[in-house]
Amino acid sequence: MSNTDFALAVEDLTVSFDGFKAIDKLTLYIDKNELRVIIGPNGAGKTTLLDLICGKTKASGGSIKFKNEELTGLDEHIRVRRGIGRKFQTPSIYENLSVFQNLEVSYPAGRSVFGALGFKCTDEVKARVQVVAEEIGLADALDMEAGLLSHGQKQWLEIGMLLMQEPELLMLDEPIAGMSARERELTAELLKRICKNRSVIVIEHDMEFVKQIAHKVTVMHQGKILAEGSMEAVQADPKVIDVYLGH
Amino acid sequence: MNQFKAWITSRGLGSVAILAVLLLVVFPLVFDIFRLNLVGKYLTYGFVALGLVMLWGYGGVLSLGQGVFFGLGGYAMAMFLKLEASDPISTKIQSTPGIPDFMDWNQLTALPLWWKPFEYLPFSLIAVIAVPTLLAFIISYAMFKRRVGGVYFAIITQAVALILTVLIIGQQGYTGGVNGMTDLKTLLGWDIRTDSAKYILYYLCALMLLGTIVLCAWIQRSKLGTLLLAMRDKEDRVRFSGYDVAMFKVFVFCLAAALSGIGGALFTLQVGFMSPSFVGIVPSIEMVIYAAVGGRLSLVGAVYGTLLVNFGKTYFSESFPDLWLFLMAALFIGVTMAFPEGLAGVWTQKIVPWWQRNQAQRRAVRLAVAKDAATPADPSSAAPTTLSGQSA
């Protein structure tokens, strides 16, 4: 496995659950500052791929290199500290804490036990929370309990929590699921803004939304990559039409 | 109004101050030394309950083996006191004078090597905290790093409690067996059985307990406290925000163990003995009940819960000894079903809102009366006052 200029290089990645290969010798490269969308039918292994990259699932074989450093074998929190952020499919926020606290806790300082004991919410942290809250449109809701937010706002809050960490690779699993048309538009704009200094991988089903945001699209099917390229090229691909788009 | 706000914000400490007055002034005035010593004994369980608030209430980790750490702290203290009580002159009738009596009964002829350091008070005091913490670290590191949690962890802590009890009872020659370590007399020559010593030890215990509440409150307000709450809610989110979740659980488990150890040592000092009956499964579960009754999210509540359950235990086991265990079980089930947040929950969710509603209503009535007197009623201006009164 040679070193590359890619932000993320996944090579021959395999994971099997009781003999079933959820991801089968998959190879995928993500450029720096790229926004990649992964599409595919249910059970294609899209979420499993993100799980493997962030460490939630351990790979059975192959390699995952982030900025030319091997990730397989590292604990989840170490991968996060290297610069990988992951948003889950269902909004995963701390419902009992305020929006401010949700963002504050995600600030990348005081991450060890004693670091957290001595952590002080400095003006710098407050300013950062303010910036991110404005970015995700929740600046007016900082004191609100996060559990009271609407579904769409919860999704934004989780994206905001990831932005607090300034990740170099951001992975979003169906960020617009359950959102209204207006919220989808706002999310598309948000994604376009935040992919400027980082690579972003998005899993999405909504083709209109994919068209709006994607630089490049990867189609997955049965744990393998079926097609890769621009949205137009992928949509015209007969294999893709057959397994996914046509039905 | 500003004073009212200041009072609200400082209420966290206000309740500690009320507890301090109760423990340091009211109890010593109301109770004779026998009863006060009993309260002091209850307060040592309070350390365990405070540890459980941090561990269970905040960290979401239920331990049914806190008696282990209480016992280890208590035994560390008891070993020092026992060695001091076993000087060659007062043990001269033994076949080997100068060693604890139970060793002599079990045909030991010399002090075991691992007992030797307990001749020194500083070592013993360090051991009171270090031994429980170390054991807690080993157990929790092994479990939490492997992501063992919830019920499975609770069962493992029970197993540890059982193992330690069996070990202590089985190794009679080294531990005093089922009788425990008795006849503890002096601490560096200071007789701990006199009334004045009991007063001093009670105040020491109460002050340390109050100090522990302040320490725990500080931890709760730190980022670590927020993280514990976050972990209880969404553990994966915390992990994928770059935190080593296991180490935070290890920390809070060790904290609870250290507090239990301190409680155990103060128990030994005030009660004058230590035995395996404070180590096993039943006392460990009783300690969880104290925290549950008081409110597992409230530090001050846990202390009240401990006091209340133990007063109840003393009263009922004096009057109806057969019924006590059933009553205790009913109390536990009743509290967890009806008031999941215990006494503290009843206070903050029922009594305080009721009082505020009451006050707001009175204010509204007074206002309406005043308005009636001045001008004909204007409902639009009266309504906001009522609302702000309710939200205060």
Look at residue A61 and give its three-state secondary structure: strand
Run of H or E including A225: strand A224-229
A28 located within any domain: yes
Q: What is the pLDDT of residue A243?
A: 83
Tell me the chain B residues in contact with residue A54 when contact means C-beta distances shorter than 8 Å. Answer: 240
Rounded to a whole number of angstroms, the distance from the CA of B27 to the nearest CA of chain A is 35
CB < 8 Å to B224, chain A:
113, 116-117, 119
The per-residue pLDDT for B38 is 93
Higher pLDDT, B3 or B273: B273
Containing structural domain, residue A17: 1-83+205-247
User: At residue B5, does pLDDT exceed 80?
Assistant: no
Q: Is residue A155 part of a domain?
A: no
Query: Tens digit of pLDDT for each residue in B143-158?
Result: 999 999 889 999 999 9
User: What pLDDT is recorded for position B67?
Assistant: 95
pLDDT in tens, B300-326: 999 999 999 998 888 887 888 788 888
Q: Tell me how close the Cα of A208 comes to any Cα of chain B, in angstroms.
A: 29
Domain spans in chain B, listed from the N-terminal domain onward: 30-340, 352-391
DSSP B220: H
A101 part of contact set with chain B, CB < 8 Å: yes
Three-class DSSP category at B17 = helix
Structure-token match 């404005």, residue found: A134
Tokens of B187: 């601490």
Question: B222–A94: do the CB atoms touch at under 8 Å?
Answer: no
Q: Do A92 and B247 touch (CB under 8 A)?
A: no
Rg, Å, chain B Cα set: 25
Residue range B125-151: average pLDDT? 95
The interface predicted TM-score (ipTM) is: 0.90
Residue of A96, A104, A106 with shortest CB distance to B229: A96
A213, amino acid identity: I
Given a cut of 90, whether residue B363 has pLDDT beyond it is no
What pLDDT band is residue B8 in, cutting at 50, 70 and 90?
very low
- A147 touching chain B per CB within 8 A: no
Distance of alpha carbon B369 from alpha carbon B239, whole angstroms: 58
Whether the pLDDT of residue B240 is over 60: the answer is yes
Best of A74, A111, A145, A168 to substitute, by most chain B Cβ atoms within 10 angstroms, is: A111
* Tokens found for residue A14: 């395999």
CA separation (Å) from B103 to A111, B42, B118, B343? 49, 30, 15, 46
At residue A239, the pLDDT reads 87
Q: Rounded to a whole number, what is the distance in Å from the CA of A33 to chain B's nearest CA?
A: 21
Tell whether the model's pLDDT for residue B29 goes beyond 90: yes
- CATH code of the domain containing A63: 3.40.50.300
| Better-scored residue on pLDDT, B163 or A197 | B163
Instruction: Quote the pLDDT of residue A246.
Output: 65
In a domain, A57, yes or no: yes
B217 within 8 A of B206, measured Cβ to Cβ: no
Nearest-angstrom CA–CA distance, A209 and A172: 14
Query: Searching chain B, which residue's CA lies closest to the CA of residue A95?
Result: B233
B250 contact residues in A (CB cutoff 8 A): 113
B30: tokens are 């109301």
Residue B383 has pLDDT above 50, yes or no: no
**Mutate which: A103, A117, A154, A173, vs B, most B CBs within 10 A:** A117
Beta-carbon contacts of B183 under 8 Å, excluding residues fewer than 6 positions away, are B82, B85, B101, B273
Whole-model pTM: value is 0.89
- Token look-up 């294609």 returns A44
For residue A49, tell me if it sits in a domain. Answer: yes
Provide the pLDDT for residue B334.
85
Residue with tokens 């939630």, as numbered in its chain: A56
Total number of domains constituting chain A = 1
pLDDT classification of B378: cutoffs 50, 70, 90: very low
Q: Is the Cβ of A167 closer than 8 Å to some Cβ of chain B?
A: no
d(CA A129, CA A142): 9
The reply to whether A227 falls in a domain is yes
pLDDT-derived band at B340, boundaries 50, 70, 90: confident
Nearest to A172 by CA among A228, A91, A241: A91
Per-chain mean pLDDT for chain B: 88
When pLDDT is cut at 50, 70 and 90, the band that residue B391 belongs to is: very low
pLDDT < 70 positions in chain A = 1-3, 246-247
3-class SS at B373? helix
Q: What's the CA gap between B225 and B219, in Å, rounded?
A: 6
- Which residues does chain A have within 8 Å of residue B243's beta carbon, measured at their own beta carbons? 77, 111, 116
